[in-house]
Amino acid sequence: MSETGPDAAFQAHLKSGRFMIQRGRASGRYVFYPRAIEPGTGADDLEWVEASGRGTVYSTTVVRKRPPEPSYNVALIDLEEGPRMMSRVESVAAEDVQIGMQVRARIIVEDERAYVVFDPAGGAA
C-alpha cells in the first residue's frame, strides 16, 4: 500500500510519462482532480487508471498580455472519461481554440512540476 498522497502520486505518474486519473472501484466513476476520497460518495476506494488522453474543449479564453509578452490560451477540457480539467490547447493560435474542438493530451515538465496540455486531435490546425 502506497503512502503517497494523491497529488504526489499524480505528479509521479506524469513524470514517468503517464497521465493517470482516479476511478472509484465501487462506483466506476472517474475523478479529477486527484483526491484522497471519492467526491459524492466519500468512498475511500479510489484507484489510479490511465486516461485515454482524448478530450473536448468545453470552454476557452485568451489571456491578453501587452506585447511583446505573448497572449495565451486557457481552456476547460472535458475528458472522455467524464471529468473536466483546466488546461490549455497548444499547436494552434490561442484565439483559434474553439468550443467542441477534439483534443489530445500531452505531458510537459516545467520548473520541476509536470502538467498536462492538449493539442488539436487532428494535428496542428
Partner 1 sequence: MSGFPRGATAIIGAATHGIGKAPGFESADLAAIAASRALAEAGLAASDIDGLFVCHPTDTMSGLSFAQYLGIHPKITENNRTGGSAFELYVEMAALALDAGVIDAALIAYGSNQSTATGKLISTSGPNAYEAPYKPLNPVSSYALAAQRYMHEYGATKRHLAEVAVAARKWAQLNPEAVKRDDLTIEEVVEARMISDPLGKLDCCLVTDGAAAIVMTRADRARDLAAKPVYVLGAAGATTHRDIACMPDLTRTAAADAAARAYQAAKVGPSDIDVVELYDAFTINTILMLEDLGFCPKGEGARFVEDGAIAPGGRLPVNTNGGGLSCVHPGMYGLFTLVEAVRQLRGEAGARQVDGATLALAHGNGGVLSSQAVAVLGTDAAL
Q: Which residues of this chain interact with partner 1, rule CB under 8 A? A: 7, 32-33, 58-64, 72, 74-76, 84-88, 95, 99, 110, 113, 115
Residue 52 or 59: which CB sits closer to partner 1?
59
User: 10-43 burial string, b = 16+ CB within 10 Å, else e?
Assistant: bbebbeeeebbbbbbeeeebbbbebeeebeeeee
Nearer to partner 1, 1 or 107 (CB): 107
Q: How far is the CB of 67 from partner 1 (least distance, A)?
A: 12
Nearest distance from C-beta of residue 29 to partner 1, angstroms: 14
Given the DSSP bridges, would you call strands 20-24 and 84-87 parallel, antiparallel or unpaired?
A: unpaired
